[in-house]
Amino acid sequence: MKTNILSQPTQNRKTTTAPFLVIGGGGKTGRRVMDRLEALGHDVRSASRSASPSFDWNDDANWNEVLAGVKALYVTYHPDLSVPGASDHIRALLTVAKAQGVERIVLLSGRGEEEAQLCERLVLHSSIPATIVRCGWFNQNFSESFFRDLLMSGTLAVPNAHVGEGYVDADDIADVVTAALTGDGHEGRIYQLTGPELLTFRDVAAIFHEVTGRELEVIDVSREAFVEGLEAARLPEGMVQLVDYLFNEVLDGRNASLGDGVQQALGRPPRDFRSFLQKAHLSGAFT
């Protein structure tokens, strides 16, 4: 993967001398965090494979150049912190971050993922003040990923359709991350972010029908049938493996509880799923 450090226009905009870096600035949360930091007048750059100097999790040749001068860092790991080797990459990144004088780190992590929690410990036990933002399933997975196509097809064939999940809104994640990057009192905290209620896929289907008028049939299928469906949809092999893992080893009931991280970090309740769907529908996401 490469890193994209994008220069930002400075005319008519206040900038700081301590730039922020977002690893994965084009992702669901990364681009939202960048928008918020820019709105606050901060100098923010995005790191990805598509810009110069590039940032690639599998090639650290440019890491020192990418992190030079950076004071606060938001880390999202692609494809997911649960994959083997993620902790080695996080450990290496911390070494470079320390050498470059990074003063604050916020890590996006996953709920119920053993490898992700190993990465969390590495970050929290480093000498750099850090905050962990631990999340499960994003609301926006239904509007900004291949799951949108499943909703639009009228059939959602998934394993563990009866399991409740505290879907969290990416805008809430971005708000918490921005607060942790720019404010005091968040160091050493692990914020468990969820929405305000547990929802099964059948609950999702019911709300989807109420909001959009579209019928959505939910079918609880075996793991094998689910993987076959993903492969039939021509998802890349790595994505098939990741989605299979998330559905069968994370969406197995271990995360069927609510977290209060949004309230702790921001002093307000999290956005609810129905409001997310209504907003997405009005924006044309399901047309």
Q: What is the pLDDT of residue 247?
A: 83
| Size of the chain, expressed as the number of residues it contains | 287
Q: What is the pLDDT of residue 147?
A: 84
Beta strands 217-220 and 20-23 are unpaired
pTM: 0.91
Taking the C-alpha atoms of residue 139 and residue 168, their distance in angstroms, rounded to an integer, is 6
Q: What angle do CA 254, 28, 96 make, to 5 degrees?
A: 90
Taking the C-alpha atoms of residue 197 and residue 269, their distance in angstroms, rounded to an integer, is 11
Q: What is the pLDDT of residue 17?
A: 42
Nearest to 172 by CA among 129, 256, 120, 108: 108
Q: What is the pLDDT of residue 52?
A: 80
With beta carbons less than 8 A apart as the criterion, state whether 73 and 32 touch: no
Q: Which residues, at least 6 apart from 143, have a Cβ–Cβ distance to it below 8 Å? A: 276, 280, 285, 286
Q: Look up residue 126 and give its DSSP letter.
A: S
Q: What angle do CA 51, 52, 57 make, to 5 degrees?
A: 70
Q: What is the pLDDT of residue 3?
A: 34
Nearest to 278 by CA among 192, 206, 207, 227: 207
Going by CATH, does the domain composed of 1-135 fall within 3.40.50.720? yes
Taking the C-alpha atoms of residue 174 and residue 28, their distance in angstroms, rounded to an integer, is 9
With beta carbons less than 8 A apart as the criterion, state whether 23 and 75 touch: yes
With beta carbons less than 8 A apart as the criterion, state whether 105 and 93 touch: no
Q: What is the pLDDT of residue 156?
A: 92
73: enclosing H helix or E strand: strand 72-75
Helices 86-99 and 114-124: crossing angle in degrees, nearest 10, is 10
Express each pLDDT in 203-215 by its tens digit: 999 999 999 999 9
Residues of the chain below pLDDT 70: 1-18
Q: What is the pLDDT of residue 236?
A: 87
Express each pLDDT in 84-93 by its tens digit: 899 999 999 9
Tell me the domain boundaries of the chain: 1-135, 137-167+194-256+271-287
* CATH number, domain 137-167+194-256+271-287, options 3.90.25.10, 3.30.413.10, 3.60.15.10, 3.90.1150.10: 3.90.25.10
